[in-house]
Homo-oligomer: A and B are copies of this chain.
Amino acid sequence: MADVKQGKIKSRESKLSTTLKDQLRCQSCGLTPLCLPVGMSEAETEKLDSIVHRNTPFHKGDHLFRQGDKFKGIYVITSGSVKSYYINKHGEECIVGFYLPGELIGLDAIHNRVYSCSVAVLETTSACEVPFSQLQNLTSEIPSLQHQLMCLLSKEVHNDCEMVAILASHSAEERLASFLLSLSSRYKSRSLSALEFNLSMSRTEIASFLGLAVETVSRTFSRFQEQGLLEVNRKQVKLLDIEALADLGGQYPHELNSGIPLNG
């Protein structure tokens, strides 16, 4: 629904109506508690807001950037979702991550100033672009911005470790269960339903991410449904037995962190 509304924005940033533009400022953004402005004053948030670029929404298949591109800045998804992937030497697409609203993209490119993956949008998606050099200038002025950026980097490291743990824990059921639970908890922390959501990625994309064959993903979905763990119809998923799914997948011990405010 948000997409429909945003679909009307066909023109560039400068042509946006002032009311819409107001909705798109950091100060009034619903994602603020997950994003960079955590802990910042009104005035500081305004400063941050002033360096952010908000482009026309991207459409399915559009790219935020491509692997090898010079690093310009980080992106924050505000609506929609994207995949991060690279092409291996066999020409296959390997998906390294999916990003939802409030999540930062491009953090891995800070240290060598080159994006190491391509990022393509999975559905109509809006994103804020934060030019890194300007962001860095601001961090020296605004200590809580520096702190929050570090926290978000740390959280990303944490998530990636979690993913390593999931992928190393062999079975297809464990992987898919963990994947669904991860999505669920991420939706939840965005005040969306933790139990019922739409997958924006295809089975093939899930398979690539989890290191499985498409058919295995499909079969595992079916098996979960037979077992009454969930209902699935194409992209629509309804989790029926979170407990059982957690028993399958939740191996990594960091339920520790979920729910704890980032700025502790």
Count this chain's copies in the assembly.
2
Decide yes or no: A167 and B110 within 8 Å by CB, A150-B150, A157-B153 being known contacts.
no
Question: Is A139 at the interface (CB under 8 A from chain B)?
Answer: yes
Question: Is A53 at the interface (CB under 8 A from chain B)?
Answer: no
Decide yes or no: A154 and B110 within 8 Å by CB, A160-B160, A210-B168 being known contacts.
yes
| Complex Cα gap A109–B250 (Å) | 19
Decide yes or no: A146 and B139 within 8 Å by CB, A67-B253, A167-B164 being known contacts.
yes
Contacts of A111 in B (CB 8 A): 150-152, 154-155, 158, 257, 262
Decide yes or no: A116 and B260 within 8 Å by CB, A111-B152, A136-B147 being known contacts.
no
Contacts of A252 in B (CB 8 A): 86, 88, 94
Contacts of A110 in B (CB 8 A): 150-151, 153-154
Decide yes or no: A170 and B211 within 8 Å by CB, A88-B251, A150-B153, A153-B153 being known contacts.
yes
Question: Is A140 at the interface (CB under 8 A from chain B)?
Answer: yes
Contacts of A170 in B (CB 8 A): 211
Chain B residue at minimal CB-CB distance from A112:
B257
Chain B residue at minimal CB-CB distance from A87:
B253
Q: How many residues of A contact B (CB 8 A)?
A: 60
Chain B residue at minimal CB-CB distance from A136:
B147
Question: Is A7 at the interface (CB under 8 A from chain B)?
Answer: no
Closest CB in chain B relative to A248 CB, distance in Å? 10
Contacts of A128 in B (CB 8 A): none
Decide yes or no: A211 and B253 within 8 Å by CB, A146-B146, A154-B107, A160-B157 being known contacts.
no
Contacts of A149 in B (CB 8 A): 150
- Among A109, A161, A250, A252, the one with the most B-chain Cβ atoms within 10 Å of its Cβ is A161
Chain B residue at minimal CB-CB distance from A88:
B251
Enumerate 20 A-B pairs (CB-CB under 8 Å) in ascending A order.
A88-B169, A88-B253, A94-B168, A94-B169, A96-B165, A97-B161, A111-B154, A112-B262, A114-B257, A116-B254, A140-B143, A150-B153, A153-B154, A157-B157, A157-B160, A160-B160, A160-B163, A164-B164, A167-B168, A168-B211
